[in-house]
Amino acid sequence: MIKQVDLIITPRWIFSAIDSVVLEKTSIVVDNGNILELIPNEIIEQKYAAKASFNLADHLLLPGLINAHTHAAMSLFKGYADDLTLQSWLMDRIWPAEKKYVDEKFVTEGSKLAIAEMIQSGITTFNDMYFYPQQTAEVAVKIGMRANLGMVLLEFPTNYASDPDDYLTKGLAFRDLFREEGLISTSLAPHAPYSVSDESFLKINTYAQELDLKIHVHLHETRTEIEDSLKQYGLTPIQRLDALGVLGPHISAAHCVHLTNTDLDILAKNNMCVIYNPTSNLKLGSGIANIKGMIERDICIAIGTDGSASNNRLDILNELNIALLINKGVNHQADFMNPAQLIKMATLNGAKSIGMEGRLGSLEKGKCADLIAVNMSSLEMKPIYDPLSSLLYSGNRSMVSHVWIGGNMQMKERALINIDVDELLNGLGAWQQKISQI
C-alpha cells in the first residue's frame, strides 16, 4: 500500500552526517515534521506519495547547520565596534551601548535580523546567550526557527536584571513560559568566569543537575582572562571551575582558545563540549584554538559564529572554511581535518552541545526534518569530484537555496517564507541612526 506523506526531496547528493558517505540516487521522506526514511529513488513510488515533492537535480542536501554559540540580538551592533581588543570592545563600546539601548524592543528587532540572516545561511538551530531571551523566543517561534536560549547570568546589574538572583528568577520564568514549545529549548548561561562568582556558579550547577539542563559559558577566550584568573585565584578559569566541582558533560564552553595540557585534560576528563568560534577569535585578536589537542583527546567540538558584533557574519559555512584552512596551516599538515569532519562538527556535534543529539544533527529516521539544500550548479563550483570539498572550499552561503525546519519550508530558492525582508530592512534604518549617535 502506498503511504501518503508530507514531503519527499530528491536531491543530487545527500550527506546524512551519520558517517562520511555521500549518498546518490536517494530521496528523503518527511512526515509530521520528522524524517521517515532515506530511500533509494527507484523504489520510492512503490511506497510513498507526497503532498509536496522537490526534485533538486543540482543540489546537495544536508542536515540544517547548528550555530552553537551566538548572541542573536547583537546583530544590531554589527560593525559598530570593529578592530578593538576584547577588553576595549566590551568595556568601552559594547557594554555602554547595551546599557543605553538594550531592552525588549532591541532584542526583538535584533533577533529577527539575526534569524533572517541565519536561515539564509543554512542555519536551522542557534544556541543563544543574551538578555531578554523571552523576546528572542517569541521571534523564533513566530518565524518557525529552532533555538536553544540561555538563561543568562552576570554578577553585575544590566538593563535586564539587577543581581544574580534576579537573572536566575527571570531566566527560570522564561523557561517555564516556553516549556511546551517544541522549537525552543533552554540552558543556563553564566556569562564567563570573569563575570560570574564561585557562589553563582555553584547555584547554577545545582539548577543544572536538578532540571537536567546544559550550561553554556564563555571560557578561556583571551590570554588576559587567564592571566587575571591566575593572579586572583592562582588557577586558570578551567582549573578554578574544576576545583569548584561544576564541570562535567553538561558544560558547553565557547572559545577555549588558550589551554595548557592540564586544561585540555580537564576538558577531556569531564566530557565537556567545546564550541569553536574561529572568526570571532581571529577578529578580536584572541588567538587560535588548539583544535588538534582537542581532537587528540576526543573532545566534542561544535562550531559557533559568536555574535555579529565580533564576527559580522552569522555564517557557519564560512566558519568551516576558515577552520579547515587555519588548522591545516598552524599544524603544517594538509591532511589534518576534512570537510565531512567539519560538517559533522556543525551538525551532529552542534546538537550534542545543546543536548539535542537524539532529535537533531543528522538525517536519520525519527529525527526532526531540519534540512538544507545547496545549489551546486554555478560555474565556480564546477567540476565537482567531491561535493563536500566543493561546498567548503569553493562554495558559500549564497548557494543555500532551500531550508526546512521541522519539515516546514523556511526558504525557497533563497526567498524567506515567514519573514518580510522589506519590512525588516525598513525597521533597521532607525536603529542604525540611533546607535551611531552613541
Per CB under 5 A, residues contacting Zn ion are 306
CA 266 – CA 180 distance, rounded (Å): 35
Nearer to Zn ion, 117 or 306 (CB): 306
CA 136 – CA 73 distance, rounded (Å): 8
Nearer to Zn ion, 312 or 362 (CB): 312
CB of 15 to Zn ion, least distance (A): 28
Nearer to Zn ion, 67 or 108 (CB): 67
The angle, 0 to 180 degrees and rounded to 10, between the axes of the packed helices 237-244 and 198-211 is 60
CB of 238 to Zn ion, least distance (A): 17
Nearer to Zn ion, 5 or 74 (CB): 74
Q: What is the length of the chain?
A: 438
The angle, 0 to 180 degrees and rounded to 10, between the axes of the packed helices 164-177 and 198-211 is 20
CB of 31 to Zn ion, least distance (A): 37
Mode of pairing for the β-strands spanning 26-31 and 34-40:
antiparallel
Nearer to Zn ion, 138 or 306 (CB): 306
CA 300 – CA 352 distance, rounded (Å): 8
CB of 217 to Zn ion, least distance (A): 10
Q: How far is CA 245 from the centre of its chain?
A: 27
DSSP at 43: H
The residue among 118, 11, 17 whose CA lies nearest residue 342 is 17
The angle, 0 to 180 degrees and rounded to 10, between the axes of the packed helices 104-120 and 133-143 is 40
Q: Which residue has the cell 536517494?
A: 26
Mode of pairing for the β-strands spanning 26-31 and 123-128:
unpaired
Residue 273 identity (one-letter amino acid): C
Three-class secondary structure of residue 158 per DSSP = coil
CB of 95 to Zn ion, least distance (A): 13
CB of 94 to Zn ion, least distance (A): 11
CB of 424 to Zn ion, least distance (A): 24
List of residues 6+ apart from 218 with CB closer than 8 A? 191, 192, 253, 254, 255
Is 6 within 8 Å of 30 (Cβ atoms)? yes
Nearer to Zn ion, 129 or 381 (CB): 129
CB of 259 to Zn ion, least distance (A): 17
Q: Which residue has the cell 579547515?
A: 324
Residue 383 identity (one-letter amino acid): P
For the purposes of burial, counting CB atoms within 10 Å of the CB of 186, is it exposed (0-12), middle (13-18) or buried (19 or more)?
A: buried
Nearer to Zn ion, 205 or 281 (CB): 281
CB of 306 to Zn ion, least distance (A): 5
Report the residue number whose CB is nearest to Zn ion: 306
Nearer to Zn ion, 26 or 310 (CB): 310
Give the phi and the psi of residue 385 in degrees, each rounded to 5.
-95, -35
CA 258 – CA 342 distance, rounded (Å): 21
Nearer to Zn ion, 34 or 224 (CB): 224
CB of 129 to Zn ion, least distance (A): 7
Three-class secondary structure of residue 100 per DSSP = helix
CB of 191 to Zn ion, least distance (A): 9
Nearer to Zn ion, 130 or 431 (CB): 130
Q: How far is CA 153 from the centre of its chain?
A: 19
Nearer to Zn ion, 94 or 139 (CB): 94
Residue 108 identity (one-letter amino acid): T
Mode of pairing for the β-strands spanning 215-219 and 251-255:
parallel
